[in-house]
């Protein structure tokens, strides 16, 4: 009997290190698949359909939307972005875990539809450290830094809506914490109950 995979939803403010944690999780665990989003924007140079995004026409996206085929979606600058349900469910039913790095609004939409997901919020050690990380990238103007800092405070206020919080003050430890969460979630009785019944 195939044990159903976990849907892992990871959010956090820009600069908290969630992208690095997600990349390391994927590199270290072959059974975790990255969720692929769908979008109506045009592919950028080097982007591959089905790998970076599923590139859809606006009509196609809206048709799938009307059929409730997305776990979450948003419209950003006249383009749609969404998480296709089919890709996620096929992987979960095959026993793979699916990792979704997503903003808070999208994560909370998923929580409404998919209660059994595992929702993890990645936090910086402090707001000072977050600012240092954003400045350290060297890609942001002063105005952008202020904007990101304000957005981060707003995002962190939503942490209470998540199942778990991991403070990323040491990358290896933060990664180990996320892996420990996933191991514990995999041992929940409600996830194992069918398997237990079939064995005993």
Q: Which helix (H) or strand (E) holds 133?
A: helix 127-137
Residue 74 has pLDDT above 90, yes or no: yes
| Contact between 80 and 57 (Cβ < 8 Å) | no
End-to-end CA distance of the chain: 14
Q: Which CATH architecture has domain 7-35+96-199?
A: 3-Layer(aba) Sandwich (3.40)
Q: 75: Cβ–Cβ under 8 A, 6 or more apart, which residues?
A: 81
Q: What is the pLDDT of residues 76-97, one digit of tens each?
A: 889 999 999 999 999 999 999 9
Q: What is the mean pLDDT of the chain?
A: 92
pTM metric for this prediction = 0.90
Per-domain residue ranges of the chain? 7-35+96-199
CA–CA gap between residue 113 and residue 70 (Å, rounded): 10
By C-alpha distance, which of 61, 85, 86 is closest to 74?
61
């Amino acid at each position: 009997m195939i044990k159903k995979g976990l849907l892992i939803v990871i959010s956090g403010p820009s600069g908290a290190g969630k992208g690095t944690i997600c990349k390391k999780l994927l590199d270290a665990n072959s059974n975790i698949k990255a969720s692929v989003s769908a979008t109506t924007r045009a592919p950028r140079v080097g982007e591959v359909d089905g790998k970076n995004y599923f590139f859809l026409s606006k009509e196609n996206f809206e048709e799938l939307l009307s059929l409730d085929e997305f776990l979450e979606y948003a419209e950003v600058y006249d383009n749609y972005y969404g998480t296709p349900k089919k890709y996620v469910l096929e992987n979960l039913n095959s026993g793979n875990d699916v990792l979704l790095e997503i903003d808070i609004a999208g994560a909370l939409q998923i929580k409404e539809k998919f209660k059994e997901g595992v929702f993890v919020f990645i936090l910086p050690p402090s707001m000072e450290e977050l600012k240092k990380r954003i400045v350290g990238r060297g890609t942001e103007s002063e105005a952008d830094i202020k904007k990101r800092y304000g957005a981060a405070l707003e995002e962190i206020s939503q942490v209470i809506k998540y199942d778990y919080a991991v403070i990323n003050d040491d990358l290896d430890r933060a990664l180990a914490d996320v892996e420990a969460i996933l191991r514990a979630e995999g041992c929940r009785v409600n996830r194992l109950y069918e398997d237990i019944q079939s064995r005993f």
